[in-house]
Structure formats: structure tokens, C-alpha cells
Amino acid sequence: MNREAMFEKIGKDAKGKKLIDGLPEEFVFDVEKVPLLYTGLDGNTKRLDGKSTVINKTTGKAYGPVSDNYCPIANREALGSVGYIKDMTLRKYGEAKNGTQWLIGELPERKILGDEFKPFVVFRNSFSGASMIQMAMAPLRVVCKNQISMAIRTSNYSYSLRHTKNAGEKMEEAHVIMNKAINFMDDLEHQAEYFAKLKVGGKETEAIVDEMFPVNPKESELQQERAIARRAAFIEALRAPDLANFGGTAWGLINAYSDVITHYQPVRTTETVQENRFLTITFDPRWMSAFIKAVQRVAA
């Protein structure tokens, strides 16, 4: 498997870029919601009932249809939390095909159970309804570059806000959360210590593999081949030298699983696919939560 951080080949490098209030200058613009119009069969311009669109007032770009209740929050406010995190350096940024704009900040490295971890903070905002205003921690285990996206929604170091009238007020709460973001690694270390003490035997590991990487004979031959390949990739990651110290533990299984999920190459390898995978894995912790629940069911 490729040993490279998921975000290395997507977006733009922020190093040397002009920043305004901590944001790339192309992210700093005002937005306006306007009624969505269409030309009827009679040739007259009409309003599409209940629908509007958000306009970039600098470029004139329209970000797609939203409801009339949608209240766009410009990046300067929505992503302004980047300025509240101590010792953070803006690393990368980009705009997804659906108009979602995202930022990645980097925090100082620290060790967890003898391994170097690099904490990253990921922000995103959208004016098309494709995503909420969100922040999530994405720590990277340096030795194998796998992303440990654990307990994102249940931690005190993340937030998700909808584009509503009171979103601006809630941003103040988000800024408070950001002041505590560096403490996320303390909680991750406590989780790592807990899972490193949970023992998982060979039979239990086989049961987890069957549950998380099922081979369904009712599926197509190609789908079965992909499932088999992922099973093999998981076993390979589990036996890797960098996990030797965590063999037979839940922490070793968690690292092997995150290694497969964050490095396994999809059939289509376009930048759009890679970008979507990175954002999905970062902001939707269900993929890891399901695995952790499976491990805890069988762990001694």
C-alpha cells in the first residue's frame, strides 16, 4: 500500500501564499443569496418557488440551489477559527468539485506509546449545501502515514454548524473549542493506552475480519475480489514491523484498519476521488466507530 498522507496529492500548498486573517486570499470574499430564476415557456422570467442560490460577490460564481431558509456564512467568519489555534501552521487548502472549500492546519508533533504523531486540523465550508461548517482533528501516525480519525463527533474538539441565522452566534462557541484543540492529543493518548491493554486473540481477529471485510457470494465476482484484496491488505498491515509492539492488541487492530482505509487505492484514482475520500474519512467517523465496536465485542 502507498505510504503517503491522504491529502498530499490534493489541493494547494499553503506555504508562501498570501493570507488574510489566516485564510488564503482566494477564500476571502463576500457572498450573497439571491432568488433562483428561470425563463418560462411564455418567455417571461419567473422565480423558482422556495429556491435561491449563493453568489460569490467577487467572481460572480453561483454555488448551486439552496432553500430560501439557507443563510450563507462567508469564509472569513465560518473558517475564522484557524486564527484561534495556538502553534498551528496552515498546510494545504482546496476547493472540491461541489464547491466545498477546505483547509488543513498542522500542529507540533508529539509521541503516543512511543510513536510520533502529527496532529492536523481540517476545516470545511460550503455555499451549496454540500456540507456544514465543520472542523475535525485528523492525527497522522508518522511511521506509516495512516490517519486515526477516532471519536470525532463525540470529542470536545470538533464542531458542525449549519448555515442558519444563528450560526454567527455559535461561531463564538466554536472559537472556544478551537482554543482546546491541542488537548485532543491528550485524549487520543488515553484512548491508545486503553486499547493497547485490550488483548485480541487469533480467533477473535478472524471474526473481526469476517465482519468488517465480508465476501458475499451473491455479489459480483469483481466485488468479491475487492473484498478479498482488502482482507489481505488488512492482514498485511497487521503483520507490519511498525505494529510489532502492539501485536495481539486492540490498538494494533485499530492502526491496521486505519492503514487499510486511508491507504487502500480505489479503482478510480482521480484527484476528485482522492479529495472526496479524504473529506469523507475525516468528517465521518462511522467507519472507525463500527470497527472499534467490533473489536470491543471480542476483546478480552
Q: Is 122 helix (H, G, I), strand (E, B) or coil?
A: strand
Per the CB < 8 A criterion, the answer to whether 250 and 198 are in contact is yes
pLDDT for residue 117? 92
Alpha helices in 10-161 (DSSP H): 75-78
pLDDT for residue 2? 55
Q: pLDDT tens, position by position, for the chain (300 residues)?
A: 556 788 888 899 999 999 998 899 999 999 999 999 989 889 999 998 999 999 999 999 999 899 999 999 999 999 888 877 888 899 999 998 888 999 999 999 999 999 999 989 999 999 998 889 998 888 888 887 788 765 434 456 778 888 988 887 788 778 777 777 778 888 889 989 999 999 999 999 999 999 999 999 999 999 899 889 999 999 999 999 999 999 999 999 999 999 888 887 766 666 678 888 888 888 887 888 889 888 888 876
Distance CA 6, CA 182 (A): 21
pLDDT for residue 144? 79
pLDDT for residue 268? 63
pLDDT for residue 271? 67
Helices vs. strands in the chain: H and E counts, helices first: 8, 15
Residue 197 neighbours by CB distance under 10 Å: 12
pLDDT for residue 38? 87
pTM: 0.88
The phi, psi pair for 22, rounded to 5°, reads 85, 0
For the record, the C-alpha cell of 192 comes out as: 491508545
Region of 15 on the Ramachandran plot (φ > 0 left; ψ -120 to 50 alpha; else beta): beta
Residue 251 neighbours by CB distance under 10 Å: 22
